[in-house]
Amino acid sequence: MLADVVVAAMRWIADNQTFVLVVLAISLAIYKLVLYPFFLSPLRHIPGPYLHRISHIPSLDAQRRHKWIEIIHNLHAKYGNVVILSPTAVSCNGDPKFINDIYVKNMPKHKFYENFRNHGFKDNIFASLENDRHVKYKRLVQNLYSKTAVFNPKNSSRQNVIEKVGHLIQTVYNSSVTGKEPDLRNARLALNEHGKGHALGSGKWFNQNNKKSHLGIDVYSLFGALAMDVVSAFELGMENGTHLLLSAEKRDILVPHRMQAGMVFWTTLMPRFWDWAAGEAIREASKQIEEWQLNLYAKAEENVPKLRDGENMTTLETFKKNGYKGKYAYTFLSDNIFAGHETTAIQLTYMCYELSRPANRFRQARLRQELVEAFGVSKLVNDIISDLEVVDKLPYLEALMQENSRVHTSIPGSEPRVTDKPYVVKVGDKDAVLVELPVGTQISCQPYSMHRVESVFEKADLWIPERWLQKENESEFEYKARMTNMQRYMMPFGKGIRMCLGMNIAVIEMKLALANLYWKFTSDICRDWCDVVETDVEVGNKIEIGSHYMKSSTDESMMTMVDAYTTRPYFDECWLEWLDA
């Protein structure tokens, strides 16, 4: 009997195949598009756009088109602290509890990070997903990067920073202040496809008034050179690092680094299609970078630094000592050098740009006043501030650093982690619902948005360093409480055990560079490069993120931030003029 029913059913299906396929397709569509997202999904109570519930495509496409950071920011403004990004991902904002739970308590990294491996997909600290593996790597070298080690006069790291900042000052003096060695190479650099030299086909835009001094200089390339010189010498030894500040031609290596950095979407989320998406130029840039890196390491292998009593080994020698040799050691170095030079250059570029805006002239003057009070007046061309301890404690310089890393954080994009156990989030305010996120849910905070929580940072989009200083009639207790609260929302170097390994050297490098620049010089935006927005208001307009804001040739438009995991000025340049103070 049952067999007859089955046979009859099979015959009916065979005779009505089209109808059956249509019914199955409709049923599957109803399940995927209605039943699962609204009734069965564990994320069904997380607010957000419908398309984000049913597909990963909106998320991937927005990242590909460099619009994702702004979209997430707007989603939080519309829906609240927790929003859905895809069928398996949520974003959290507005409460430091999320930073603490996700990053300080160290949820595992998402596979997004594993594609930052180098030299044949070899693992490194940043790319390691498992917490125990990350801790194993980090323990080998973390003492080298401690603040105590960086400041210790027995280690070359201290002299390294001072020496390279001296090279920076000399370059600014020769190229801009005196105009003896004008920055013509960057003015007509065809390799920078976004730059003014490439767009106009020559360097004729540069110095149209034929000035003899106070010429424009591309500080984005300049600070990239500084950071590369510092980090490479730190990793390999002072005698083995780069000397980009001393050679304009050698700075060309920064361009392929930028080209490859622009591929972060394909590197992290679509690695199988990387070669196709890159095209010939970027594939060649990638090969050029690896060849350049391996030549740098080969030199360091042949020229092992001789250590003084009490001096730390280099990062390379430390890894070799612990059994990581050849490309298994180089992968760690390449990650540190690539990320270390890029993020520092971004911070210094936006800092000097902000200080050079007409609205911030009084802030530049205030910084100089603080420096003169601490170190006197610079009298000789070769004078250099070298007291790291004093520089590190200057209150207004610290306020500038905090505000710049808040507004122009080098990595504004989401830092994806994965829940390793069920995690409960509160959705809504009045009719709050507790939602349990299952194991394996992608969860993240976006620094760009955390740094703009309006209830904590008044006028959050604007660059106001004074928010980090003690207010008039504010008690010491109130001030410290306010600082503590703001810091709970800050994550410019990440948070928790996974935060930036090179933070201490990056911070003092930036502080010493800024201290020396504004102790000796003043800066202004180069008017050959852009139309400068003049204003009497003591707060400049918001600098937007996203290419659709580039609607004019003003400095504010030219300094639009790229909407990407790691940002940068969209035009990959920033031209400033420097004068003797």
**C-alpha to C-alpha distance for 360 and 555, rounded to whole angstroms:** 14
Is 500 labelled a binding residue? Answer: yes
DSSP 560: P
| Structure tokens belonging to residue 142 | 């973390």
Residue matched to tokens 């396929």 = 21
Q: What is the DSSP letter of 244?
A: G
**Buried residues in 226-257 as b, exposed as e (16+ CB within 10 A):** bbbbbbbbbbbbbebbbebbeebebbbbbbbb
- Angle CA 112–116–121, to nearest 5: 115
Q: Give the closest residue to 544 by CA, choosing from 555, 534, 533.
A: 555
How many Cα neighbours within 13 Å face the side chain of 51? 8
- Cα–Cα distances (Å) from 328 to 249, 303, 314, 325, 404, in that order, read 30, 19, 16, 5, 35
Are 271 and 115 within 8 A, CB to CB? yes
From the list 15, 43, 562, the residue with the least C-alpha distance to 263 is 562
Burial class (CB in 10 A: 0-12, 13-18, 19+), 503: middle
User: DSSP letters along 364-380, please?
Assistant: HHHHHHHHHHHH----S
Both structure tokens of 379: 């009298």
Encoding tokens for residue 273? Answer: 């299609």
Sheet holding 216-218, edge to edge: 216-218, 575-580, 521-525
Residue with tokens 């195949």: 17
Tokens of 489: 């929302």
* Residue labelled with tokens 């979209």: 71
Output the six-digit token pair for 535. Answer: 């204003």
CA dist 430 and 419 (Å) reads: 27
Listed in sequence order, the residues at least 6 apart from 42 whose beta carbon sits closer than 8 Å to its beta carbon are 435, 436, 437, 438, 441
Helix (H, G, I), strand (E, B) or coil at 534: coil
The C-alpha atoms of residue 269 and residue 271 are separated, in whole angstroms, by 6
* CB contact at 8 A, 558 and 549: no
H helix and E strand count, the chain: 24, 9
If DSSP codes are grouped into helix, strand and coil, which group holds residue 40? helix
Contacts of residue 449, Cβ cutoff 8 Å, sequence gap at least 6? 72, 73, 76, 93
DSSP category for residue 426:
E
**Binding-site residues from annotation:** 500
**Binding-site residues from annotation for heme:** 500
